[in-house]
Amino acid sequence: MAMTIAFDVYGTLIDTAGIVTALEKLVGDRAGIFSDLWRAKQLEYSFRRGLMQNYRDFSVCTSHALNFCCETFQTEISSEDRASLLESYRYLPAFVDAEQGLERLKSTGCRLYAFSNGKPDDVRNLLQHARIDQYLEGVVSTDEIKSFKPNPAVYAHFLRQAEACGSEAWLISGNPFDVIGAISAGMRGAWVKRSPKAVFDPWEIQPTITVGSIVELCQSLGIDDQ
């Protein structure tokens, strides 16, 4: 049976640091730390809404996180520029290894899916713009059950949609919380460690495998056809 692989999108296939270029025009040399805080608060707000069961979609979490950053850095960004920054999230670039890695995995017969907190249409548009959508069989979104990763219900939702067995399905993510969530829910998980400085959470749950890029996955999963 073909291996089923769920790819996280933001931070795994798509480089969220791509927003820095747009931020540089507005906040100058603070763009990097602004972007890092924006991403951290975006995820924090999704975690909190998931726990509170007070769902708003991921774009709302992103917008609220942007507002928080503007307050924190005491930066005046007009409503038009804020709207432009949020629109930039729809056109972020793929990591340089994403296309080659997906193409190689697809050639082995694996069933590849995007699995994201983002709304389905937003994710599809993002993947199309990044020119990697053709390697994926479909998009599964947590929005479909009104929750967020790492709620175990969202991983169960993915398995139902992909008609896959948890112990035979993989979650691939650059986000440690996502890998931990998937493994805790019965899947296997690969952490994409893109920076040597990245630290995996020191929990009792560790990645099934760790790779440096999407390209490394075929060999690490034991399905490389080269």
Where does a domain end: 91, 107, 141?
A: 91
**Residue 133 CA, distance from chain mean position:** 15
Position 225 scores a pLDDT of 54
Predicted pLDDT of residue 38: 96
Q: What share of residues in the chain are helix, strand, coil (percent, to 5)? A: 55, 15, 35
- 211 and 158 both lie in a single domain: yes
Q: For the chain, give the mean pLDDT.
A: 95
Given this model, what pLDDT does residue 166 score?
83
Residues 167, 112 within the same domain: yes
Same domain as 110, residue 68: no
Which pLDDT score, from 0 to 100, does residue 30 have?
96
Specify burial of residue 196 (Cβ count, 10 A radius: 0-12, 13-18, 19+). exposed
pLDDT at 209: 97
114 vs 106: CA distance, rounded Å: 13
pLDDT given at position 224: 67
pLDDT at 7 exceeding the cut of 50: yes
Same domain for 108 and 85, yes or no, is: no
Per residue in 148-201, pLDDT tens?
A: 999 999 999 999 999 999 888 999 999 999 999 999 999 999 999 999 999 999
DSSP assignment, residue 3? Answer: P
| Domain boundary pick from 91, 116, 140 | 91
Q: What is the pLDDT of residue 218?
A: 85
* Domains in the chain, number: 2
Q: Which ranges constitute the DSSP H helices of 13-57?
A: 20-27, 31-52
CATH number of the structural domain spanning residue 50? 1.10.150.240
204 and 194 in a single domain? The answer is yes
Mean pLDDT of 111-140: 97
Residue 226, domain member (yes or no): no
**Residue where a domain stops, chosen among 91, 114, 146:** 91
Q: What is the pTM of this model?
A: 0.94
pLDDT reported for residue 226: 45
- CATH number of the domain within which 128 lies: 3.40.50.1000
Q: Is residue 198 part of a domain?
A: yes
- Containing structural domain, residue 29: 16-91
Task: Decide if 152 contacts 181 (C-beta within 8 A).
Answer: yes
Compute the distance between CA of residue 110 and CA of residue 175 in angstroms, rounded to an integer.
Answer: 22
What pLDDT is recorded for position 219? 86
Q: What is the pLDDT of residues 35-84, one digit of tens each?
A: 999 999 999 999 999 999 999 999 999 999 999 999 999 999 999 999 99
Q: Same domain for 106 and 61?
A: no
**Is there a single domain that holds both residue 56 and residue 101?**
no
